[in-house]
Structure 1
Amino acid sequence: MHRVIAALLAVASCAAIAHAQTSPSPPSSSPPFTLERALIAAGASSPSLEVADAGVRAAGAARTVAGLRPNPQVQVQVENVGGSGLYRGTQSAETTTGLALPIELGGKRSARIAVADSRRDRARIEAAIVEADLRERVTMAYVAAVSAERRVAVARQLAEFANRGFSAASTRVTAGAASPIEQQRADVERVNANVAFDRAVREAVVAKENLARLIGEPIAGELDVAWFDRVGTYGPAVPVSAQGTLIIAAAEADVTTADALVRLARSQRVPDVTLNAGARRLSASGDTAAIFGLSIPFPLFNNGRAAVSQAESERLQVDARRRVTLLETEQTIASVQAELANAAASARAAGGPALSAATEAARIARIGYAQGRFSQLDLLVAERTLADTNGAFVDALVAYHDAEARLARLTVPAPVIAETPQ
């Protein structure tokens, strides 16, 4: 039997090559719904991008707040009223009206601005991260939808083979050339193939609906199967550094924020000064006198040293986390590169001569079985080989495109953030 299958594969290879050279593919009636179109639609309707944009605007408003100076205070004070004797009523009242102006020392304002700037830059990087994550999600959903359509085509072909096999088995049993068991076995294969086809159709509908929900618009027409079948030519993977990527930019932005928080904590150790100036009116004599004052807090219980120690420890923690992120990202990039190369090799092997030969072998086995030249077992082996090859090809394409999307997500370059004048 193995020799028969080997002969079928050899004949099928030659037939498939000749068929590929002489039979052009029919043109598509309408342009397919491409991945790029899906990405554009998702970018226009995704609520996650709106959340990220709102975060950037909030960080910009926080930067404005950080640059504001303390408000002055208007102070009014009345003394020597409501007493007894000379101080009964308001005849001896002393009314003081003044203005208190807080003055920040130690660079507190510039330290606050530095913290707000770093958080605003981090919000912009977070917005870029959300966009990259959305692109990866849409790509994987598109891959799932188009691979489901490919599996529908495979299941349809197997169902057609099973229906023809049942017809051929019925004809042979009627002619007395085969046992009724063959007809029953062919009927089981037909039923199972039709059930598998119905299941594949339902899964394709669900996958397409999920993609439509993600991008926020209905999908008209077929998906881009040609893009799905296309595999890039990858040789030995060139190592890719994680430096300059979006992931490392986020970790470095966290370190910058931690540095600014250390600077802010140190500035808080310098006491602020409040200047007071006003006028006092003496009701008894009608005279008015100027008043000047200066108040400085005395750091007796809280001198800010503990806050500085906390900020410095958190800065060391964030910097260590940055180094861990760099190491893990480079390891992940190397692993995904290997997965991408392996998937590309598997797809080229499964979708090349092997798939053409298996398809032609199944066709020849079907004809030979109908003519009584091959047994039903030979036919089942040929069809199972075709199904396995088709499934391996689709699985390899899914693995390839998923790895390609993950590698693209890992290597997204950091956005260029323009400096804002202080």
Structure 2
Amino acid sequence: MSDPIGSRRLRKALPAVASIGWALAASSAQAQTAPPFAQLYLDTREAPRQVELDAEIHRAEGLALQAHARPNPTVSVMTENVAGQTPYRGFDRSENTLQLNQAIEIGGKRASRIAAGTAGVAAAQARTREARLAYAYDLAMAYGAAEIADRRIELAEEEVDEASGDMRAVQALVQAGKEARLRALQVETEVNALRSLVDAAKAERVGAYARLAALAGDDAGFTSLAEPLLPRFEARTGYGPIDPLETAPYVAAQAEREAARQRVSAARRQANPDVTVSVGVRRLEIDKANALIAGVSVPLPLFDRNRGNVNAAEADLRAAEARNAGMLLNVKAEIAASLALNEAADARIAAADRTLRTAEEAYRLARIAYEAGKSPLLELLAARHEVGVARGVILDAAAARLESRARLARLEGTTITGEPVQ
């Protein structure tokens, strides 16, 4: 019997379904494959975080440029002896003066200010390089997180396939009357639970790719990677050495200390008074004559000797020196930890590989024994579970090695793929 109401509902729903389809197609068209990591890092020069770092250098350069500026001259016009009592009622006895005043900085004020500006640029450049290395580290971790998310989906789907194979084997024994129906239900329940893990892994993948695109400054987003990053790393016989004095954090701390030292010098010299030289022309109307005038003025430093700014600059210098000393200790500790973590990561990968091979062989034998009726179902399920755990351990070990390599590259002043960071 026909269902006209259902047909009308279907016709009404078709436009909405079509619009959803077009939206999904459009989002798929906009999505793109992330290039290899080295290329992706080069492509992120216009990412918001990178642009912010460039602005920091431009700010320091602007301040350094301003430090070169000399005081502006002032021009004054003055009229005297007018609009008074007789005989100064009109302008016949007026004296009109045009005067140029120029302040002259003495005591090395301008030179110290320029030196402080130059040191500020050097400090900004050092800080920016350190921040770029931090950005390269974060980008590598985001890239690796996206790849790990892909791998987790693959592992989850592989475990579902293996569990489905076990379920078929159990169902065959149930049909043959060699296994209870309860066993088939147990395996089916486990298969459904594993499928839910696949869905959870896919949701995590969406977040990982979204974070990678946001960090790279890409509006379209990524859905895949052009080149895996994890297989690039292999075990090495040794790591280092790394000179702590050449690391970006310590170089930045040194530059900050030098900039603070120059600011102290500039603050001290700022207390020197400026000399103002005045030159002008005066018109004497009563004599119908012009005369030159000249003068020099010097402020008396009785009340303002710039002591507050000097004290503040000296405190900044003490703090910068303390940070520099502390940074050296931190960098040395970070280098030692990074070298040890990389060696441990290689050992962890090797151990995980051996564990996986053992677990896979145990699962193969358990499957044969179960199908032959020589072992219970629980042993088969436990053996397969151990395989899944071993695969997860390998992936976790690969993620740990990725992080340790990224930390080592950051200390060496390169990206995780070896490109130098400026």
Report the TM-score, using the length of structure 1 for normalisation: 0.84
Supply the distance in 2 between the matched residues of 1:396 and 1:240 (Cα, whole angstroms): 24
Q: 3-state DSSP class of the match of 1:87?
A: coil
The alpha-carbon deviation at position 379 of structure 1 amounts to 0.4
Is 1:65 aligned to 2:66, yes or no? yes
Aligned to 2:5: none
1:45-74 per-position Cα deviation (integer Å, ceiling 9, x unaligned): 312222222332232232222112112221
The alpha-carbon deviation at position 220 of structure 1 amounts to 6.7
Aligned to 1:198: 199
Aligned to 2:316: 314
The alpha-carbon deviation at position 238 of structure 1 amounts to 4.8
- The question of whether the paired residues in 2 share the 8 Å contact of 1:161 and 1:366 is answered with no
Q: 3-state DSSP class of the match of 1:102?
A: strand
Aligned to 2:403: 402
What amino acid does structure 1 have at the position aligned with 2:248? L
After superposition, residues 342-381 of structure 1 pair within 5 angstroms as: 342-351=344-353, 353-381=354-382
Aligned to 1:325: 327
Give the % identical residues: 32
1:109-162 per-position Cα deviation (integer Å, ceiling 9, x unaligned): 111111111111122223322321221111101111111121112111110111
What amino acid does structure 1 have at the position aligned with 2:170? A
The alpha-carbon deviation at position 89 of structure 1 amounts to 2.8
Supply the distance in 1 between the matched residues of 2:222 and 2:118 (Cα, whole angstroms): 42
The alpha-carbon deviation at position 361 of structure 1 amounts to 2.8
After superposition, residues 170-209 of structure 1 pair within 5 angstroms as: 170-209=171-210
Aligned to 1:134: 135
After superposition, residues 15-414 of structure 1 pair within 5 angstroms as: 33-43=35-45, 45-215=46-216, 216=218, 218-219=221-222, 222-225=225-228, 227-235=229-237, 238=240, 240-351=242-353, 353-412=354-413
Provide closer, same or farther for how the CA distance between residues 312 and 202 of structure 1 changes in structure 2, counting only shifts above 3 A. closer
Supply the distance in 1 between the matched residues of 2:34 and 2:209 (Cα, whole angstroms): 13
1:213-265 per-position Cα deviation (integer Å, ceiling 9, x unaligned): 3332654755534x414543234655533211111111111111111111111
What amino acid does structure 1 have at the position aligned with 2:78? Q
The alpha-carbon deviation at position 86 of structure 1 amounts to 1.3
- The question of whether the paired residues in 1 share the 8 Å contact of 2:34 and 2:40 is answered with no
What amino acid does structure 1 have at the position aligned with 2:215? L
Supply the distance in 2 between the matched residues of 1:33 and 1:318 (Cα, whole angstroms): 41
- The question of whether the paired residues in 2 share the 8 Å contact of 1:268 and 1:304 is answered with yes
Q: 3-state DSSP class of the match of 1:292?
A: strand
- The question of whether the paired residues in 1 share the 8 Å contact of 2:264 and 2:313 is answered with yes
The more displaced of 357-366 and 257-266 is 357-366
Q: 3-state DSSP class of the match of 1:233?
A: coil
Aligned to 1:4: none
What amino acid does structure 1 have at the position aligned with 2:114? I
Aligned to 1:8: none
What amino acid does structure 2 have at the position aligned with 1:224? E
Provide closer, same or farther for how the CA distance between residues 193 and 367 of structure 1 changes in structure 2, counting only shifts above 3 A. farther
The alpha-carbon deviation at position 333 of structure 1 amounts to 2.2
Q: 3-state DSSP class of the match of 1:70?
A: coil
Report the TM-score, using the length of structure 2 for normalisation: 0.84
Supply the distance in 1 between the matched residues of 2:356 and 2:34 (Cα, whole angstroms): 24
Instruction: List gaps (5 residues or longer) in structure 2.
Output: 1-32, 415-419
Supply the distance in 1 between the matched residues of 2:225 and 2:287 (Cα, whole angstroms): 96
Please tell me the root mean square deviation across aligned C-alpha atoms, in Å: 2.4
What amino acid does structure 2 have at the position aligned with 1:397? A
The alpha-carbon deviation at position 340 of structure 1 amounts to 2.0
Provide closer, same or farther for how the CA distance between residues 194 and 100 of structure 1 changes in structure 2, counting only shifts above 3 A. same
Q: 3-state DSSP class of the match of 1:85?
A: coil
Provide closer, same or farther for how the CA distance between residues 416 and 79 of structure 1 changes in structure 2, counting only shifts above 3 A. farther
- The question of whether the paired residues in 2 share the 8 Å contact of 1:99 and 1:276 is answered with yes
- The question of whether the paired residues in 2 share the 8 Å contact of 1:98 and 1:276 is answered with yes
Provide closer, same or farther for how the CA distance between residues 69 and 59 of structure 1 changes in structure 2, counting only shifts above 3 A. same
Kindly tell me the number of residue pairs found equivalent between the two proteins.
Answer: 383
Supply the distance in 1 between the matched residues of 2:187 and 2:159 (Cα, whole angstroms): 13
Supply the distance in 2 between the matched residues of 1:174 and 1:52 (Cα, whole angstroms): 68
Provide closer, same or farther for how the CA distance between residues 347 and 120 of structure 1 changes in structure 2, counting only shifts above 3 A. same
Q: 3-state DSSP class of the match of 2:351?
A: helix
Provide closer, same or farther for how the CA distance between residues 307 and 56 of structure 1 changes in structure 2, counting only shifts above 3 A. closer
The alpha-carbon deviation at position 76 of structure 1 amounts to 1.1
Supply the distance in 2 between the matched residues of 1:220 and 1:317 (Cα, whole angstroms): 47
Supply the distance in 2 between the matched residues of 1:147 and 1:96 (Cα, whole angstroms): 81
Supply the distance in 2 between the matched residues of 1:33 and 1:66 (Cα, whole angstroms): 43
Provide closer, same or farther for how the CA distance between residues 131 and 238 of structure 1 changes in structure 2, counting only shifts above 3 A. closer
- The question of whether the paired residues in 1 share the 8 Å contact of 2:277 and 2:296 is answered with yes
- The question of whether the paired residues in 2 share the 8 Å contact of 1:33 and 1:221 is answered with no
Question: Which structure would you say has the larger RCO, counting Cα contacts within 8 Å and 6 or more residues apart?
Answer: 1
